[in-house]
Amino acid sequence: MKIALSIAGSDPTGGAGLQADLQVFRAMGVHGAGVVTAITVQDTAKVHQVLPAFPSVVLEQLRVLLRDLTPDAIKIGALASDDVVRNVQLALAPFLSASSAVPIVIDPVLAASDGTVLLERRAWGVLQSLIGSAALVTPNLEEAASLTECDTSTEEGTQAAASVLVSEFGARAALVKGGHRDGPPRDLLAVRDGGSVSLRWLEGERVEGGPFHGTGCALSSAITAQLALGAALEDAVDRGRQFVANALRKTAGSGARARLLSYSCSD
Ligand code: PLP
């Protein structure tokens, strides 16, 4: 079985974070390995507390794991603190060079939907350098705006942000998720193409019945699973989006505020 590694925060609801990532990996037929970066206290209504993991323990988890297993793809989610990001970067050093064959997907989680900070502000700089080694970075509009200082309330600004993530930050591709904008959700995929950046809008269909919990985590982990299985980047993105759209239509259940996605193998 192919192996996907998620480096992410714990969400006890199972709707987001590491628990969701592992469910998605399993549904896609990939073995999921996981390293916890933060413990959260949360329900579907809000994040009550975020406790970053000890940075040295994150480092050791990764070192010991990577001495033993070689992942086929890696997903990085919420990293909580500056020291945690630095230690992830240290432990992943062999995978961060341009010659590494292991694709890394970074979901640059800055905050939860309720506004709770999931990555401290002073860590944005080191996150930016990590993004330089990513096969794909998957910010939502707000995260793209925060990281690039582009105004993503317009299409032009969103295109500028996606281009910055690729041409200035150095990611091979960026998927800026437009799901939180009114109207049919449109994502923008920017891919490095020789010396330039090619841009493609991906149209989606709004699924009623939200709010949903953990859609961003599910999308990035579904794309990671596809990359672990050997899919080309654009195919992995298309299949990941389709997988999440199907999961939204079924939903596994409802909490006090948000609904949980339901993942199944047939997606
Ligand atoms: N908790 C963790 C650990 C997460 O990684 C995320 C999102 O990435 C969330 C909570 C937030 O999920 P939502 O945006 O659905 O509130």
Residue-wise pLDDT tens digits, 90-126: 999 999 998 999 999 999 999 999 999 999 999 999 9
How far, CA to CA in Å, does 260 sit from each of 5, 7, 252, 264? 22, 21, 5, 13
User: What is the Å distance from ligand 1's center to 211 Cα?
Assistant: 13
User: What is the Å distance from ligand 1's center to 100 Cα?
Assistant: 29
Best residue among 47, 51, 116 to mutate for probing ligand 1's pocket (most ligand atoms within 8 Å of CB) is 47
Cβ neighbours around 166 below 10 Å, total: 23
Check pocket membership of 228 for ligand 1, CB cut-off 6 A.
no
| Averaged pLDDT, 176-188 | 86
Check pocket membership of 34 for ligand 1, CB cut-off 6 A.
no
Check pocket membership of 113 for ligand 1, CB cut-off 6 A.
yes
Grouping H, G, I as helix, E, B as strand and the rest as coil, residue 193 is strand
| Averaged pLDDT, 190-196 | 94
Asked whether the predicted pLDDT for residue 240 surpasses 70, the reply is yes
pLDDT, tens digit, for every residue of 35-66? 999 999 999 999 999 999 999 999 999 999 99
User: What is the Å distance from ligand 1's center to 142 Cα?
Assistant: 14
How far, CA to CA in Å, does 135 sit from each of 14, 24, 117, 207? 26, 19, 25, 28
pLDDT the model gives residue 108 = 98
| Averaged pLDDT, 230-258 | 92
